[in-house]
Structures are given as structure tokens and as C-alpha cells.
Structure 1
Amino acid sequence: MATIEAKKGSFTEQKDAFADERGVELHEEEETENSSIEAVRIAVPITDDTSLVSVTFRFWVISAFLGALGATIQQYYAYRSASGTFSIFFVNLASFSIGKFLAQVLPTRSLSFFGHKFSLNPGPFNIKEHALIGISVSTAAGSAYATEILSATDLFLQDRVPAIGALLLIITTQCVGYGMAGSLRKYLVYPAEMVWWGNLVQVVFYNAIHNTDEFKNKRMVRGWSYMKFFWIVCGLIFLYQLLPQWLAPVLLYFDWVCWINPFNKNFWAIFSAISGGGVLSLSFDWSTIGGASLYYPLAPQLNSYLGMILNYWIILPIMWLNNILGTKTMGRPLTSKLFFDNGKRFDINTVLNDDHTLNDELYKAGPPANMSPLYALGFMTSFIALAGCVSHIVFFHGREILEQWKQASSQDAKQDIHSKMMKVYPEVPQLCSSIVTCEVYHLQLPWWGLLVSLALAWILTLPIGAMTAVTGYGPGLNVITELVCGYMLPGKPIANMAFKCYGYMAMYQATQLLGDLKLGHYMKIPPRSMFISQFWGTLIGAIFNYVTMTLIINSNRTYLDGTEDDPAGLWTGQGIQIFWGSGLIYGALGPARMFALDGKYGFVYLGFLIGLVVPAIQWALSKKFPKISWSKFNISIFAGGMGAFPAGYSMGILSSLITVLVFRFYLAKYHHSWWKKYAYITSAALDTGTAFTGLLIFLFLGGGISPKLNVNVPSWWFNHQSDNPDMPNYPYYQADRCGAADPTMWTGL
């Protein structure tokens, strides 16, 4: 595998090359120019060594290994009640160690591959090579959205897409945003105002670990070195996480209020984090909190958590206790399943044709299907979030974006130092995605439908990407794509899921790639190397997402399709059930039927009006009362928080909010020097240790390698299990020791 050679020389030595090759002349005063954003000035160096090679043999090997590992772990977490992450800091540390080792042991002699000479070991393991591995692995280490289509059709239609078709679906949906990301670079990557906050901690980490002298001079508590502090915190959280993740699942959802009256159905619905609102519920699992809470901007985080509190701690109890729109009829307040008026479960398979389209006559012959009112409210909040994002960006940042658009289109545009330094590297041509997968594998989505989904994504990626770059939060397109396709292709649930997947992923993948491009921008990695890295990660991730998905479905099918509840409360099909439920509502039954303006759920369309109007009112108030920071309230982020747990497992709200207030308010404001010194490294250590624990449990305790290695934890207070095989948590409903397993024990009905 060939390496790509970079141009030789430092940034200063290349200033004449800028003028010769790109038509840009740098004056002496511009060489000391820096970003207008203080955080970027602090975190990102303004030097670049263009002689460093980034795509090497070591890159291919390390990124493939860690990418496969990350894709496996993230796909595993997609079916778990706790949403863990494959920490990028774990990747950075592991790749650094492996890279250093390979730089010592690999031969340095040149080899020939199809007439092209390259070296297995082109020199010391360098910072650009290291960062490129991290970018590739971050592209691979996710649960591809297309696996939800594949899981839903397998679990609920007993129709497994062949392996080749499944891989094509995953790869095409993951790659569809590449072209958009390339085109939007000039608006969402190059301007200094587009920070992409999550990248700064990585830039600091990469530069710290590769700057040996500065790295060794950092001293933490008790005189520990920077890395000693990291490893101690990492090791402690690794051991601790075995409790909530394996030994004591009650700590994952510590529903202490529910224990006052555990068999009262109202207490259960309001205070249980597994089945209800999780009011005042605590979670002692770091994976439910996450390291970003230590350094993300305070205002967006508070917007999100206040939205959660409004929906799950105030609206949910009101709707449940008053049985508004038949909330109690559905059995639990948060569910994505459909029901008849009498509370009996609606089975879509009874009204589908052989090609999985709706048989309208069969459906009309029976009673209509209903959804949980709080699930319908989730659709409304999604509309608020999307409309609010566009409106907020237009009113509060529209002039800036318009100016950036004009500047980006001008050859004489003023750029910060990092944009100028990147001009030495050649660009990458744009790509297009294929229509073949939809046609060949009968996804019910015609070619023109695919084009509509991509056009919708193209229009909305700019405002969503801008908000994500500035605040760290941005809405998705999953619900609006369902709505549009539901009107275009009614009665076709698979088409609806495919339309949503392509439209949503085009936007989502574009924003992810834009974030990676900004990291490459900060690290001065050539764009073509970035493209190689991202595509390689996509390919690796697709393969291992599919393999892991298949293994987990085969071994946990009854827990994932809702036939049974996992007695330990660790395996769940909630995410897939939500995806499938949306496919039924928007695809099979159609929004014209389910959300008729004169019907039970017609209120959802008010979300568009609320999202558009609220930022306009804020903007008008900001002109009247300019001393108040009106823009800090973001209705889009607030509504996103309201819809954070559409089908339950609402744990971690209080624990996360406490963490944010301690680190991002108290410490950042009153002990700022301490916060600057410890926040980033502590966040990295906690996320890394948690990732190690998840890997250990998956591979060696949860049967990831072999079902024979599945270790069942003995029954004790924090992992309550009875001897009754039919009711493993008897007398409790689930592992949070809340709710009645025996229906005759319920009170407060």
C-alpha cells in the first residue's frame, strides 16, 4: 500500500510556494496572524511541518484494527440500555503505543507494489499520521444508521437482507454525505467562527502527547505527570464501571424515589427510568453522563437538560396522572408500539401484503391504530427542533453566514492562518452515491425518491451544520424525512425507512465529515489524505457493523423484538422498535391518516410554527433589550432535549445536570485555572476507562467472543433475581426494583 508524500519544508519555508502554486502572497505581518476565536488560539498551533507523511503502512494497519474494534463495540452498544461510546482518547492512546512500537520493529527498506516503491517504516510515528488514524477510526467506530433498517426488517418482518445487499446499503448510506461535505467546506470549515468544539480537546491531546518536553513538564495533583494522572483516573473508572455495567445494574438506573412505593403503577410510570419518566432518578454509570459535559459550552448543555426536565419530569406526569389522550391505555407512558383503543397491541403484519406494503382494505376493516401521546409529542418536538434551528440561525447568524458565503465565493476572501496554511495541499474531487442498492434489493424506494431525500438533506445541512459547529448541538432529519416520504409514498414502510436513512445520513454524515475536516484543518492534514482516511474507515465500519449486528440478533432476538424483557435490563430493542414504529406510523399507515389535522395527533404540526416563531420573538426582544443575551436560549436545543428519550430509559438526567453545573458553571467560573488544567484530561481519562470496561464486558463477560464466556452475575440486592425462571426479578418488574412483576400486585391503577 502506497504512501502519499507531502511537500517538504516548514510553513515558513513554503510561503513563496503559496504565491507560486495558489496565487496567495503572505506578507510578514500575516505570518503571525491567528484565529479570532480565543479557544482556537489557545489550543491550535500556527506551525506546520509539510514534510510529515500521514498515509503510511502503519496507518492502514492500525486504523483497520482499531476501526474494526470500534465498529464492533458501538454496534454492541446500539442494543444495550446504556449508550456507551468507543472513546477517541482510547483510540489516540492505543494508536500512539502501537505506532511507536511499529516504528521500532518494522523494516525501513523500500518495497515495490505494482511498480510503486514505498516503505513499511518511513520514519518516526508522527502527529499527522496519528491524527489521521484517529479520524479514520472515528469514521468506522459508530453504529451505521442503515443497520436499523436491517435490524427492523429482520426482527419484525422476518426478512433478512442478503449480506452483499446489506453491506451495500450500509456503505452507500454512510458515503452519501461526502459530496456535500466537500462543497460546504468553505462555509462550515474554513471560517474561524465555525469552531467544532469537540475537536479542540483532541488537538490539545495530540500536541501534548507528541511534544515530549512540554508533555513531561506538566504536573498535576501530588506532582504526578500528565500521563500518570490520566492513567490513574482511567484505571479507577475502569474498575468502577464494572459495577453499573455488570455487577450492580441498579446503579445504572438508581430510581430511589420509586422504592417508596415500588408496586404503585403511578410511582412506576413517573419515577422508573426504564419504563417511565425517571423523575429524580440518578445514574452512577459514567457512560450515561459522558466526558463532553466537562467542557462543552454551558448554555447549550443547560438548554438540553432543561428541555428534558420539562418533558419527562413535568409534562409526562401530568399526562399520565390525567390519562390525557389515553396515555394509561398504552400500558406505559413511553413506548413506540401501536395499540388499539382498548389497549391491545396492534400487529402490522396482519394488514400487510406479501411485498410488505399496506393492505388498505384490511386495515380499514378493523379499529384504527393509536400511538402513545408522549411518543406523538416527540414528533412535535422534533419539528420544533428543526424549524427552530433554521429560524435561530437565520435571525441570529444570518448576516454572518451571508457575509461568509460572499467571502467564500470570492477569490480575495480573507482567511485565517489555518486556511492559508492548508492551501499548499491539493483538493479532492466530489463523489456521488449509487441508486443501484435501492433498485436491486427491493427497498420500495424509487430513484426519484432517493433524489428527493438527498435534496432535502442538501438544503438543511448548512443551518444544521452551522449550529453544530457553533454550539456542539444540532437536530436530525429523521422525522422530517419520514413525514415527506409518508406523503410521497404512503403504505410503504421499507421505502420510508430507506428514504429516512439516505436523507438523514446524508446530513448526519456530512456534518460528521465536516467536523473531521475541521480537525484535519487544525492539524494541517492534506485533504486527499483526509478522504482516504474517511473512506477507509467507512468500509471497515460497514463490515464489522454488519457482522456484529447479525451475531447479536441471532443470540438476543426475543429481547430485541419485544417478545421478552431482559431480566437484567441490559439488552434492549428500544432503538430498533422506535425506528420500526416510525416506519409504521409514517410509512405503512401514513401521516395523512395518523396526523390528520382534525384527528387525535394533529397537534404535532404546531411544532413547525413554534420553532419558527420563538427565535423571531427572541431576536425582536434582543433589539429592544440588547443587554440581555437572548440568543443563549436556543429553542432547537431545548426541543432536542425534550425528545431525548422517546421510548424510555430516561436515566442520567439529574446526574448529568449535576456534573455540568459543577464543572461548566462552578469550576469554570470560580476556579477557571483549575478547570483549564484538569477538565480536558479528566474527560479523556473517564471516557477512555469506560470504553475499556465496555470492551472487557463485551468480549469476555458478555459472550462477545463465544456464548460460553457469558458470565451471569449471582443474585444480590443490586442485581435482584429470583429463583422463578418466569419472573427473574420477582416480585419486581425489572432490574431497577420498581414495578410489579405480578399484575395482581399493582396498586394505584
Structure 2
Amino acid sequence: MSEKDNNVYFDQEDTVSNGNSFGEKSNDIDVVSKEDYIHDSDVIISRIRAVGDLDDILVNDTDFFISKVHEMKASEALEVLQYSADYYRTDINFPKHTLERIQKLLKGEENYDAGHIDYDLDLRLEAALMKFHSPYPEVRSVCSPTDDPTIPVETFRAYVIGFIWVAIGSFVNQLIYFRQPHFTLSAQVVQLLLLPCGQFVAKVLPAKKIKIWKYSLNLNPGPWTFKEQMFCTIITNVGSQNSVYGQYAPVARESLFWGQEWANYGFTVCMNITCQFFGLGVSGIMRRWVVYPSKAVWPTLMPTLQLNRTLLVPEERRSVNGWTISKYKLFNILLAASFIYFFIPDYLFQALSTFNWMTWIAPQNKNLAFVTGYKIGFGFNPIASFDWSVINYATPLVLPFFTTANQFAGTCVAGLTLLILFYTNVKFSGYLPPNTSTVFDRFGEDYNLTKVLTNGVFDQEKYMAYSPPYMSAGNYMYTCAAYTMYTFTFVYIFVSEWRIFKDAIQGMITSLKDRKSSNYERYKDPLSVMMREYPEVPDWWFFIVFALTVLAACLTMHFFPTTMPVWATICILLVALAMLVPFIVLYSNTGYFMSTNMLGTIIGGYMIPGNGLACLFTRIYGFALEDMAETYVGDMKLAHYSKIPPRAVFRAQISGTIIQIFVSAGAIELLHNGLENFCSWTQASRFYCSWSHSIYSDTLMFGVIGPSRTFDTLYPLMRWSFLIGACCALPIYFARIYFPKYLRPVHPVLFIGAFTRWGSAYNLTYYTGGFYLSVGMMWYVRRRFLAWWSKYNYIISSGLTAGTAFSGILIFLALQYHPKMLSWWGNNVASAGIDGAAAVGRLDIPTEGFGLTYWE
């Protein structure tokens, strides 16, 4: 945005052009004196405070916003508000009070509440907010409505620092991913490490330009900038995630699962290349759905943006609800406090982490352990944890309150459903632990895959002689809910967000017809207007990346003994691509991410029956495309909010990912060769690999045993779950449309999705504390003290998360990688009773086993 847009200009007689004068009702622009301008600005500030849910505007960019209110015409304001009312009508993120106020303003002055100060002022105030800022308080708190395109971004020093930290982050994140609960070097943590590096390099590098061919390289363009900081964050954020294949690698390689020793470092690198670049290839298409539209809020990005502003953007010292402490100082206090405190629940007094205090009353009481326990139970416990890594598992200070509330309500209902299933012995689940992803045989032992295989392929006779596989009640409910979610979400998101899909398709057609056209021209929000300053990344760049990645995937599947046909690789990628659009739209609006990983398992079971290993790879590729697309396109939105050139982001994503591919593969080798009992439920440092156990169970059920046997004989309700989801979507959508007063806060996808929180080692223990925190901060404080919430909420989340992560990494490397156990009551009591048992069912298993007597 030009300098002229950032300032108030008076004419030669010290006058300013603004909207209507506050005393007159005219659509003409009046010329007022500077004194009147100052007086009217005071009136605007008073009105903002009186409205109540706009007072966060007074925290940042106040002068800019006031100038835009002055410039706004009443006729223009009506046009802006009419568009906003139509566009945001069904948006659950859009503030309800704001929508109601807009609708009242559009009815005209004669129908406006007489108690308000001035209809004209309210009209222009609301329209200026819609046109020149963001209607979402979350976005306003972290994003400036102005931009300076001359600020250095893609510099030599930024690349060097980014490459160093992407290597460190990749190694650490991959190393500790399999631990429960796991923590990561998140974007907030990485920013803390980048800042001193950037400031140090800015001081020591010579201010010298180097000529390389026709390009000039400036080694040190001046002070370290917030755009360089965000550019480095994008490099590390994309590259330092644990790799998609890394999440599945133990299933293919560990003897505990498939035991394929050929899946070595070279194969891991090949799989990382194909998995990581799938998402980048399709992210260019996804831009039109989840980057450009302002409705795509991306709540998960807010802490990263807020921390970036806190570290590098000067802050005005103002009292906010009586608080004057700076965000930077508060962040450092919380960082230090959480760093020290985390030693208590994570090492010194571990019972405080998963606080199963109710089971201590009667440690050997099975029913008490099942209902209230954290390890084998359901976690119905009002005081479940004093550990931030557990409380923050559902990111309660990041996700909107409606997301947390819908999911917590669904989790509780799912828990009660699970109790009923377990205690009524549905599908013989009473003989098994209630909430585990492990698959069992009819004797209650872990299912021995080798007993039903001949030369790696399913053997019917061996299967008949041994046992069908049985799932726990939690795993059964999780699987049915996941299948319901696929079809429900696909239909529901398409019909509820049809306008976004329509605009995106029109934009794609326009781009193909005119390659010089800008996607930003189609959007009227201020961020897209500012981004018109920067050249876009052509679509064909992304198409080339995707095409080369598909080729690499086919070659990898062909030349390694994966038993995965090339045609099956193509099929699963097409399915994942079709499901990606509604899923990523859902994620951008709510912070809730879905994937087709389980759907890939079923499709693989049908395409390659009896081949569990090939089924594993269909699942990997189904998940990889969506998971990485979400990561890459999320960082594009991060750059969109930060006004970073799109082509610089593309280069950052390519280079950072290449480094991550090789480093994360090395971390997997280290775990495989250097950690005793890796992925065992008895691993001393909690490297349980709970996700790997869940993957193995699914590929066993639907890859080896096959979906036909599983659906037809063992669990027929699973098949109907797909139809149930598709049939329920439209009635629920129309119910929310016709009864918005009662159903607007309810998001059915989030509620149903909460049922998929079960079926593994996680239960209500990991969500109860987060819900309490969300009620306090994201509902009560946000409604009553919006300015305070806007300034401090994401900083509190970042400070606590960063301190816990640093502390956790130190504890892991110093005390847990080679365990130095501290044995005393506070560390032993949580696992001393039934809740600490690895596998306990409610019913005693007969000598001859339980289950079906004839299962073909």
C-alpha cells in the first residue's frame, strides 16, 4: 500500500476529505478543518469503545483506521455492507454481533436503533472495517492493514539461517514424534531461535553487494526485518515437520509390525520425496479455495503471526483493560515459567501429567479404571492434568471456541457411547481393553499376522485355523465414525461453501484463458488488494512439480519390493485429490483437519486384496497428498497475512523441503537402530508409536483380512457408515439454514469428528483441561475484554508452548533418551493399578477363546 494510503492528507487550506460530516446526513464529501478532524476522530474513538466488540481496533493501527472512516462515503459504505452481509451470512467465524449490526444498518436510518449516537457514523465505521481491515478480531490482532513492499524479505542471510534451522527442526521433530505425548519445535519455538541468529548476522555480515551473473546479492541489507523473520519461519515450518512417510516408516520396517528390512535409508528418502512434494504440487490449485478468500481465517496460524509482530514490530505502550505490560515481556515471563515448571509433570512428579487420581482410590477396581483411567480407560475425570503438553493437546488458545466446544461435546457423547458399547459387549469388545488401536485374536492376544500369511499373502486355510481379528470398542467406534465423516463432510462442505468453490473454479478458468491475469483482482478484501504488488506463482509451476512427483512415486513403487502396482498408485492419488478440497476448506475455517488415510486403506484392500503391505502404501499416499497440501497452502496463507511475495515463498518451500527429506530420514535410522524396544507399549521413554499401532491395525483388518470379510461378517455396520454420512448431510445443512437461531453455533462436522478422537491411547484426559481453558479465554475473556484478548491471548499460548517444548527437549535428551528414571510414589502411582496395565478386558476370556464360531 502506498504512503498516501497510510496517512491523512489535508489540502492547502489544512482540510481533509472524508465521508459525511457527523452532523449531516449527506452522501457528499465535506471539507473540514484540521481542528474538526481531530474532534471528529475523538468521536470515532468514543463510538468504537461504546460498541464494545470493536475496541481491539484501538490496540493497533488506530490512526490508519480512523483516517479510513473519514474517507468513507455513505453510498460506498452501503455497498460494502451489502456485499459483506451476503458473503459472511453463513460464516460461523464471523462475529454474530457484527452481522446483526450490519443487517440493522442496511434497513436504513429510519429503522435504526434511536439509542445509537449517529447512524451515519456507525454506517461508515462498520464499512471501513470491512473494506480496509478484517471483520475477524483474530486476524485484526495479528495482521496489519498496511504494507511496505520495500522491506527486505528473500535475502542471503535469511536463506542461510533458514537452512540451518530447518535441518535442526527436521531432526528433532522426527526424533520425538513417536513419543506420547509428543511435542514439536513449532513455528512459535523456531521464531525464538531465528531472532537472535538474524540479529547477530545483521551485525557481523559486511554491508557488501556481490555480483553473480546478472543478479546482485546484498549480504547485509540492514537490520533484521519481520518479513525476513517470517520468510525464515516458512522455510523451517515447511521443512521441519516430521515427514509424512516418517509417520508410517516404523509400520513398514519394525519387526513389531511388517518387518521389511529393505525399507532402508534410501527407500525412506525416495518415499519422502514423493510424499512431501505431492502437497506442494496441488497447493497451487488450493490457493483459490483457502488462501485468497477472507473467510479462510486459518486460526492455527494466529500464534505464529502474533509472535512475529511481538518480536520485531514496535509496540505502542497503551493500557489495555488496566494492563500495560508489553507482549514481549509477558512472552519471556511465560517462557521461563513454563520451562521450569515442565520438569515437574514430565520428570519429577509424573502423576501430575495424566492425573488419574480417581483410580488411586481403588487401584485394582476394573470398572473405576475403565471409566476414569487415562491409559486403558475413558478419562472421565474433572481434573485430568496439570501438564501443559496435555492440556494444550487440542490447542484451546488457538482454535475458535465454537470448534473446541463442538468437539468437546462430541467427545463426551462419544465417550458415553463407548461406555455402552463396551459394557454391553458389542462385537465381543468386553473381552478386550476398551480404548486401544491394537487388534486382537480370539484369545485376547495381539493378532499374530504371520499365522495367516503364506509368502506375504493372505492364506484362507491358516486364517480359518487361527482367528478373525477383533477390535476394541473404541477402535470400532472410531472406524465407523471416520467412514461416516468422509461422505458427510464431502457433501456438507460442498453445499455449505458452494460460493467459494464457484469463485475458485471461475478464477481457474480465467487464469487458463489469460495467463497474465491476477487472481488477486477477483478479491476485494484489503489483503488481496495489497498483494497485487507482487507477481504470482504461475499455475504451471505447480503442475510440473505434481507431474514429476507422480512419476517418482510410480518408479519407487515399481523398483522397490513394495508389491504396490503402479495403477493403484494413480487411483489413490485421484481419490485423495477429490477429497482434498472440502477437507482443506473445513480446516481453513475451523482448524479441524481431516484426511483420507483410512479411506486409502479400504481402497487398497479392495484393489489389492490380501496384501497388507501394498495397502499400507495406498494409505500413505492418500494421507501424504492431503497432509502436505495443508502444510504448504497454510504457509501460503501465512505469507498472505504477512505480505510476503508468493514467488519467494515457492522457492522457500522447495529448498526447505529438500533439506528436510534427507535429515528426517536420518532421524528415522537413528531411532530404528539406537532405541531399545522402539514402538513397544513398554518402551521406557514412552516411544510407544501409538499412531503406528493404529495404522498397523487398519492395514491388517482391511489389507490382509480384507474389507469384504471385515464388512460382511465381522463388522457390517462399517459398510453402512458411508451411506449414513451421505444421507445425513443435506437434512442437517437445511436445518441449520432454516433454524439459524438455534443451530448456528453447532457445526455437525466437528461434532461427528470428535468420535474419531477415540480408538487409540487418547481419551478425555487430553481434552477436558483444554475445554476449561477455552471457556475462560476464547469465550468469556474474548467477549468481555476483547482488546486484552487480542493483545495477549496468542502470546500466552506461544509462551507456554515454547517453554514446554524447550524444557521437553532438554529433559528428553538429558534424562529420557537413555533413561535415568526417578523412582518414587509420585512417578509410580499412575501406573501401579489396573489403569497401568497394557491390556485388560472387562470379561474373562474362556480357554477356547471368544468370538464367532464360524467366520467365513
- The TM-score normalised by the length of structure 1 is 0.87
Q: Which amino acid aligns with 2:825?
A: W
Kindly report which structure 2 residues correspond to 1:112-123, keeping only aligned pairs within 5 A, or say none: 117-123=216-222
Shift in CA distance, 362/94, structure 1 to aligned 2, threshold 3 Å? same
Q: Secondary structure at the match of 2:573?
A: helix
**2:321–2:787 CA contact under 8 A, matched in 1:** no
| Equivalent-residue separation in structure 2 for 1:478 and 1:345 (angstroms) | 23
1:258–1:271 CA contact under 8 A, matched in 2: yes
Q: Which moved more, 1:689-698 or 1:40-49?
A: 40-49
CA contact (8 A) 2:439 2:472 kept: yes
Q: Distance in 1 between the 2:838 and 2:248 partners?
A: 35
Identity across aligned pairs (percent)?
25
Output the CA distance in 1 between the equivalents of 2:709 and 2:353.
39
Structure 1 residue 719 corresponds to structure 2 residue 821: no
Report the alpha carbon displacement of residue 218 of structure 1 after superposing the two structures with TM: 7.4
Structure 1 residues 747, 103: closer, same or farther in 2, change over 3 A? same
Please point out which of 437, 444, 450 is paired with 1:349: 450
CA drift of 1:516 comes to 0.9
Partner of 2:53: none
| Alpha-carbon offset, residue 549 of structure 1 | 2.2
Comparing 239-248 with 370-379, which one deviates more in the overlay? Answer: 370-379
In structure 2, distance between residues paired with 1:285 and 1:178: 35
Residue 419 (1) aligns with residue 538 (2): no
State the shift of 1:169 in Å. Answer: 0.4
Please tell me whether Structure 1 or Structure 2 has the larger radius of gyration of its CA atoms.
Answer: 2
Q: Which residue of 2 aligns with 1:235?
A: 336
Cα deviations across residues 347-378 of structure 1 (Å, max 9, x unaligned)? 10233344x33234433443322222321221
Which residue number in structure 1 is paired with residue 754 of structure 2? 641
Which deviates further from its counterpart, 476-485 or 44-53? 44-53
Task: Tell me the residue number matched to 1:38.
Answer: 136
Any residues of structure 2 matched to 1:391-402 within 5 Å, and which?
391-402=491-502
- How far the C-alpha of 1:234 sits from its partner, in A, is 1.0
> Partner of 1:276 in structure 2?
377
Structure 2 match to 1:584: 700
CA contact (8 A) 2:363 2:835 kept: yes
Residues 1:676 and 1:227: Cα distance change in structure 2 (over 3 Å): same
Specify the code of the residue in structure 1 equivalent to 2:710. M
Q: Within the alignment, does 1:192 sit opposite 2:302 as a pair?
A: no
1:296-307 aligned within 5 A: 296-307=399-410
How far residue 644 of structure 1 moved from its aligned partner, in angstroms, is: 1.5
- Counterparts of 1:448-527 in structure 2 under 5 Å? 448-527=567-646
Q: Deviations over 1:626-661 (max 9, x none)?
A: 433x24322322222221142224232221111111
Distance 1:736 1:142, change over 3 A: farther
219 and 192 in structure 1: CA distance in 2 versus 1, 3 angstrom threshold: closer
- CA separation of 1:102/1:218 partners in 2, compared to 1, >3 Å: closer, same or farther? farther
What SS is found at the alignment partner of 1:192? coil
Q: CA deviation at 1:494?
A: 1.9
Q: 1:612 to 1:100 in 2, by over 3 A?
A: same
1:374 matched residue in structure 2: 474
CA distance in 2, matches of 1:52, 1:623: 46
Q: CA deviation at 1:205?
A: 3.0
User: Unmatched 5+ residue regions in structure 2?
Assistant: 7-70, 81-127, 511-516, 846-856
Measure the CA separation in 1 of the matches of 2:838 and 2:410: 34
1:25-70: per-residue Cα shift (whole Å, max 9, x none)?
Answer: xxx9899843553333554223322223322222222222322332
1:61 aligns with 2:181: no
d(CA) in 2 for partners of 1:745 and 1:461?
A: 38
Q: What is the Cα deviation at residue 147 of structure 1? A: 1.6
Whether the 8 Å CA contact 1:184–1:462 is kept in 2: the answer is yes
CA distance in 2, matches of 1:646, 1:166: 28
Look up the equivalent residue of 2:294 and give its one-letter code.
A
Equivalent residue number for residue 170 of structure 1: 272
Q: Measured at CA, do residues 143 and 357 of structure 1 come closer, stay the same or move farther in structure 2, by a change above 3 Å?
A: farther
Moved more, 333-342 or 249-258: 333-342
How far residue 502 of structure 1 moved from its aligned partner, in angstroms, is: 1.2
**How many residues in Structure 1 have an aligned counterpart in Structure 2?**
700
1:199, distance to aligned residue in structure 2 (A): 2.4
Cα 1:436–1:296 shift into 2, 3 Å: same
| Counterpart code for 1:425 | P
Alignment of 1:82-481 (within 5 A): 82-111=181-210, 117-155=216-254, 156-160=257-261, 161-212=263-314, 214=315, 223-280=324-381, 282-290=384-392, 292-312=395-415, 314-330=416-432, 332-354=433-455, 356-406=456-506, 409-410=509-510, 413-423=522-532, 424-428=534-538, 429-430=541-542, 431-432=545-546, 433=549, 434=552, 435-481=554-600
Residue-by-residue CA offset, 1:174-231 (whole Å, 9 max, x unaligned): 110112110121222111111212223433332343222x266678987533212111
Q: Deviations for 1:323-358, whole angstroms, at most 9, x for unmatched residues? A: 22211322x11222222223233210233344x332
- Quickly say closer, same or farther: Cα 1:427–1:248, change in 2 above 3 A: same
Q: Which moved more, 1:317-326 or 1:737-746?
A: 737-746
Confirm or deny that 1:544 pairs with 2:663: yes
Contact 1:337–1:371 (Cα < 8 Å) also in 2: yes
Letter paired with 1:582: D
* Matched letter for residue 577 of structure 2: W
Moved more, 393-402 or 156-165: 393-402
Q: Find the counterpart in structure 2 of residue 735 from structure 1.
A: 831
Cα deviations across residues 422-448 of structure 1 (Å, max 9, x unaligned)? Answer: 233241411121222222222222222
Structure 1 segments unaligned to the other structure (5+ residues): 1-7, 14-27, 721-731
Aligned position for 2:67? none
For residues 89 and 742 of structure 1, what CA distance do their matches in structure 2 show? Answer: 35
Name the aligned partner's letter for residue 476 of structure 2. Answer: A
**Distance verdict in 2 for CA 1:47–1:98, change over 3 Å:** same
Aligned to 1:24: none
SS at match of 1:338: coil
Structure-2 separation of matches of 1:535 and 1:400? 28
Query: What is the CA-CA distance between 1:75 and the residue it aligns to?
Result: 2.1
> CA, structure 1 residues 267+100, in 2 after alignment: closer, same or farther (shift >3 Å)?
same
Please give the alpha-carbon distance, in whole angstroms, between the structure 2 residues aligned to 1:621 and 1:600.
35
Once the two structures are superposed, residues 55-104 of structure 1 have per-residue CA deviations (whole angstroms, 9 ceiling, x without a partner) of: 22222222223223322332233221213232322211221121011000
CA deviation after TM superposition for structure 1 residue 559, in Å = 4.8
Task: Give yes or no for the alignment of 1:593 onto 2:712.
Answer: no
**SS in structure 1 opposite 2:458?**
coil
Partner SS, residue 463 of structure 2: helix
